[in-house]
Amino acid sequence: MGLLDDKVVLVNGGTQGVGAAIARAAVREGAAVTVSGRRPEPGEALVAELTAAGGEAAFVRADLADAQQAKACVAEVVAAHGRIDCLVNSAGLTSRGTLLNTTPELFDAHIAVNLKGPFFAMQAAVADMVARQAPGTIVNIITSSAHGGQPYLAPYVAAKAGLAGLTRNAAHAHRWDRVRINGLNIGWTATEGEDATQRAFHGAGDDWQERAAARLPMGRLGRPDEIADFVVLLLSDRSGVVTGSVIDWDQNVLGGLD
C-alpha cells in the first residue's frame, strides 16, 4: 500500500523480535529503514535480507542503555538522509526482579534501556523535526504490564510505566509542532527474546508456547508481524491526527473480571 513511501525511519532495538518485524513492515511500505542494536550479527543479517528484497536498509551498532548512543543513532540517520521522519523505540529489557529482591543495579539497567534510551532518542528526533518545521511520528513499544504487571516484573513495570507517561507528555508538548507520538501496550508475544526469557527465568520447556496458548482467550500468543502492521499504521498518515494515545494491544481486557 506504500503507507510509508519516502519516509526515513529509525527502529531502535530493531534487530530481532518485534523491532525486526517493524523494520520489515516499514520497508515493505516504502520506507528507508535504519535498525539499531548491540549485536552486529543479527542487525547485518536483517539488513542483508531487506536489501536483497529490494528495500533500503542500514544497521547502526548501539547500546541503547547509553543516552549518548541513543542520540547518536538519530544523528547517523540524519547524516545519511538529511532528516528523520519516524522513530520507533522497541528495545526492551525484561529481566526479572521483585520489589524485595531488585538491586539498585538491576533497577538502573531497566531505567536505562526502557526509559532513558527512548527519552534521549526522542529528544534527538524531535529536535530534528522541530528544526526543519516538519511533521513526524514516533511510536514507543511499551507493555500491558505497565498497568501493574506481575510481581516479578517490578523494575520493568516501573520503567515502562514511565515511558507511557513520557509518551503522553511529549505528545502534548509537541502537538503544535505536528509531531505525533503514540505508544502500544503490547501483551504476551511470541518472540526470540520471550522464548529465552521463559527458559531462563521460568524453566520453560519446548512446549511452553502451546501451554501458554491454552490459557489465552484467542488460543495463541500475539505475533510480531501483527504488532508491526499496527505500528506502521500509527507511523503513517492513515492514523490521522491521533497523538498521545497509549493503546492496549492485548487479548485481555483491562479492568475485566471473571
**Active site residues per annotation:** 156
Residue 104 CA to residue 122 CA, distance in Å, equals 25
Angle 202-195-71 from CA coordinates, rounded to 5°: 110
Pairing between strand 86-89 and 246-249?
A: unpaired
For 86, list phi and psi in degrees, rounded to 5: -140, 140
CB 171 within 8 A of CB 108: no
Q: Which of 91, 110, 115, 114 is nearest to 99 (CA)?
A: 110
From the CB of residue 247, how many other CB atoms can be counted at a distance below 10 Å?
Answer: 15
Q: Which of 37, 154, 47, 28 is nearest to 88 (CA)?
A: 37
Q: Which residues contact 236 (CB under 8 A, 6 or more apart)?
A: 3, 4, 29, 137
